[in-house]
Amino acid sequence: MGPLTLRDLAAIGVDRLKGVGEKKCAALKEMGVETVLDLLTTYPRRWVDRTDECRVSDLRAGQEALVLVTVRGVDKRIGRNRRSIVEAVVGDGSGRFHVVFFNQPWREKQLRDGLQVALFGKADVYRGGLQMTNPVVDLIGDRTGRIVPIYPQSEKTGLNTWEIAGWVEDALKRCEPRGIADPVPEAVRARLGLISRQEALHSIHLPETMGEKERARRRLAFDELLRVQTVLVMRKRALERESRGIRHTIDGELVPRLRAALPYQLTSAQERTIAEIEHDLAAPHPMHRLLQGDVGAGKTLVAVSALLTAVQGKHQGALMAPTEVLAEQHATGVRRLLEGVTVPDPGNLFGDRPLRVELLTNRVTGADRRDVLAGLADGSVDIAIGTHALIQEGVQFHSLGMVVVDEQHRFGVEQRAALRAKGDGDLVPDVLVMTATPIPRTAAMTVYGDLDVSVLDELPPGRTPIVTRLAEGELLQQGAWAAVRAEVAAGRQAFVVCPLIEESEKLEVASAQETYERLVHDELQGLRIALLHGKLPSAEKEAVMERFRRGDTDVLVATTVIEVGVDVPNATVMVIVDADRFGIAQLHQLRGRVGRGVHESQCWLLTGQALEGGAVNPRLQALVDSTDGFFLAEVDLDLRGEGTLMNTAQKGRSDLKLASLRRDRELVAHAREVAFEMVDPDPLLEGHPLLLDELRVVFNPEDEEFLFKN
């Protein structure tokens, strides 16, 4: 009998543990704990260090603190408006203080005299003494040991932290004779300074010191990341092995012709990215690459260069956008870029023929549509630009070689598969996914781990920097409106963006309407102002936008419908009302709508009131300090945590209980490296049976099919 694997632990029910009868078993099941594996991976949510605990005499008014105290007396009464109030006196050897709970009548039963509890909260001065209101209460029981683990407890299940701790200890003790198997090779552990899995499981639950707990967390977090990365790397390599790609001609004439026609030099980031893409295109397996570029970094040019690489080898290119408006804008932009670029054609009397770019969305109907469809099928259309209409039934390409997908997060795996099916025979088109939302590196490695990543991290010359200012309160906001009037007087235009109101679109429209009325009659009286919001019929939206593009409107008041892809080079100032309602990424996207022409641009962030004590909102301050989307994405991850990244329901993400993309940047990179080291020489992990088995235990059947369809 070898050491216990995750599969062994998953096969042992918690009912085998001491003191887990039917009732406790049901309560544990409520918590999602049915097996010993579930129990051992239910980690403490914090650890109380008794040797370093704040004593009552160290409490300071207005500061959050964690104290270990004994309950000395409890009292319950009904206050005004029938609210229950439970008061307790608690203390340690150094002093005592009051705790009060509003609307938590059950606390009276919970806090018995003589009970040891850990309280976490802010102490305030009340009637001359200190008092904590509604603190977090952790019942510790009579645990000995310097460090006390505190487990997630819920009123609903009625389980408390020392019961869970007792079962975990029992489970760990029973694992000792056989030991716990370790799927990470010893050489890798030594190189990365990782402790063994058995030691880690013991030390996360029963640490002697906080340092020991930290080493355990690092090891177990690495395991979680390694599992996710191994799956992604196996998927990436399987795609490369199993699908035949097109070996594109990268020394054709079209790309040089495009370059020669450009009135400016490419940035070195564009040069590097184009080289990375061409290297992929020349290879025999299909490209799968993510192109990240900040607002205005010149992604379109890189994409067009990739599409032309396909065309010069007698294939077709397709560019797919999430909305019709964006598809139409891309079509205009791409045609402008390709003006005068012709395709060598030996069958043509003049030796060259014009390059044919066509738009296909649901708005293209009748004879026009039939014409485009025929051109796609017979190969006379070189580049098709459209929405997902491009991959509907009934659209046939003659030889689709290269696909660019704009804004990946609105585009699922199924659509990518449908697109592959449009390829020629069993040849799979190359895919380039573009996103203007800069994603922190660690997140990109995890969320898009099956794609290679290219980054455009410099702006082309001639893009004017945007100055961002923060205006809090009425008085400072007058500066923003003065700036709008000054820019309009100088012949330029402005955007005013109204807040995002999650609860209802109706409210959002009302607030935009109200801002519009106020500006027309007050701050911007006499200017030509138009209103744009999501509830307008699309023909009217188009008309409003068209007038703004032409310059017939000075100021466009809009809800966030302008976030993506509105290009008006003459707009040089943006005012964002109630900016504190938006996230960093969204503010950065919005701000990118100005600064597209030759004039210096500005963005004003308006908020109602300054925070208490003159503090500045850290999100808004970050935007004032930097226009670098990648820096902002990292700040965003730090401020917000990774919850928002992970809820894209990526497969196997639920496995990240301890790992944090934010704190563990270095571990994510190590895990990815190790995954490649294991998978490249051994694509089916035959030499790592423990790890392979673990992936099968941790990932559910749909993932399995996905992973092991070889």
Strand partners, 99: 88, 132
Q: What is the pLDDT of residues 551-597, one digit of tens each?
A: 999 999 988 666 455 678 899 999 999 888 888 888 888 888 887 77
pLDDT at residue 443 greater than cutoff 70: yes
Q: What is the pLDDT of residues 409-441, one digit of tens each?
A: 545 556 656 766 777 767 788 889 888 777 777
Do the beta carbons of residue 486 and residue 480 sit within 8 Å? no
Computed over every residue of the chain, the mean pLDDT equals: 84
Do the beta carbons of residue 307 and residue 319 sit within 8 Å? yes
Q: For residue 284, give every residue at least 6 positions away whose Cβ sits within 8 Å of its Cβ, in sequence order, or none.
A: 244, 245, 247
More confident residue, 710 or 324: 324
Do the beta carbons of residue 235 and residue 681 sit within 8 Å? no
pLDDT at residue 227 greater than cutoff 50: yes
Residue 460, token pair as written in the block? 């082309």
Distance CA 697, CA 677 (A): 22
Please give the pLDDT value at position 109: 86
Residue 199: which pLDDT band, with cuts at 50, 70 and 90?
Answer: very high
pLDDT at residue 462 greater than cutoff 80: no
Residue 390, token pair as written in the block? 């491009």
Tell me the H-state helices in 490-562.
Answer: 505-521, 538-550
Q: Which of 117-126, 343-352, 410-419 has the highest mean pLDDT?
A: 117-126
Location of each CATH 3.40.50.300 domain in the chain: 254-456, 466-626
Location of each CATH 2.40.50.140 domain in the chain: 58-140
Angstrom distances, CA of residue 100 to CA of 56, 78, 84, 129: 16, 13, 10, 13
Location of each CATH 1.10.150 domain in the chain: 1-45+151-176
pLDDT at residue 18 greater than cutoff 90: no
pLDDT more than 90, % of the chain: 34
Do the beta carbons of residue 617 and residue 480 sit within 8 Å? no
Please give the pLDDT value at position 411: 53
Please give the pLDDT value at position 649: 37
Do the beta carbons of residue 606 and residue 475 sit within 8 Å? no
pLDDT at residue 646 greater than cutoff 70: no
pLDDT at residue 653 greater than cutoff 60: no
Please give the pLDDT value at position 226: 93
Q: Which of 24-28, 386-390, 606-610, 704-708 has the lowest mean pLDDT?
A: 704-708
Distance CA 624, CA 618 (A): 10
Residue 453, judged by CB atoms within 10 A of its CB (0-12, 13-18, 19+), counts as: middle
Do the beta carbons of residue 27 and residue 157 sit within 8 Å? yes
Which CATH architecture best describes the domain 466-626? Answer: 3-Layer(aba) Sandwich (3.40)
Please give the pLDDT value at position 168: 94
Q: Euclidean distance between the first and final Cα of the chain, in Å?
A: 30
Tell me the H-state helices in 106-196.
Answer: 107-110, 161-175, 186-192
Distance CA 85, CA 104 (A): 7
Q: What residue type is assigned to position 173 of the chain?
A: K
Q: Which of 128-132, 176-180, 640-644, 691-695 has the lowest mean pLDDT?
A: 640-644
Q: How far is CA 226 from the centre of its chain?
A: 19
* Range 220-246 average pLDDT: 86
Q: For residue 11, give every residue at least 6 positions away whose Cβ sits within 8 Å of its Cβ, in sequence order, or none.
A: 35
pLDDT at residue 233 greater than cutoff 60: yes
Q: Which CATH superfamily, name and number, covers 58-140?
A: Nucleic acid-binding proteins (2.40.50.140)
Count other C-beta atoms under 10 Å from residue 454's C-beta: 23
Please give the pLDDT value at position 527: 94
CA atoms within 13 A on the CB side of 8: 14
Beta strands in 2-83 (DSSP E): 46-49, 64-78
Residue 641: which pLDDT band, with cuts at 50, 70 and 90?
Answer: low
Please give the pLDDT value at position 480: 93
Q: Which CATH superfamily, name and number, covers 254-456?
A: P-loop containing nucleotide triphosphate hydrolases (3.40.50.300)
Please give the pLDDT value at position 519: 92
Name the phi and psi angles at 130, rounded to 5: -90, 150
CATH number for the segment(s) 1-45+151-176: 1.10.150
Tell me the H-state helices in 11-86.
Answer: 22-30, 36-40
Q: What is the residue-wise DSSP string for 379-416?
A: T---EEEESGGGGSTT---S-EEEEEEE-GGG--HHHH
pLDDT at residue 523 greater than cutoff 70: yes
Residue 394, judged by CB atoms within 10 A of its CB (0-12, 13-18, 19+), counts as: exposed
pLDDT at residue 465 greater than cutoff 60: yes
More confident residue, 702 or 526: 526
Please give the pLDDT value at position 252: 84
Q: Which of 125-139, 438-452, 576-590 has the lowest mean pLDDT?
A: 438-452
pLDDT more than 70, % of the chain: 89
Please give the pLDDT value at position 582: 84
Between CA 457 and CA 467, with CA 463 as vertex, the angle to 5 degrees is: 95
pTM above 0.85, yes or no: no
* Range 625-630 average pLDDT: 83
* Range 484-503 average pLDDT: 86
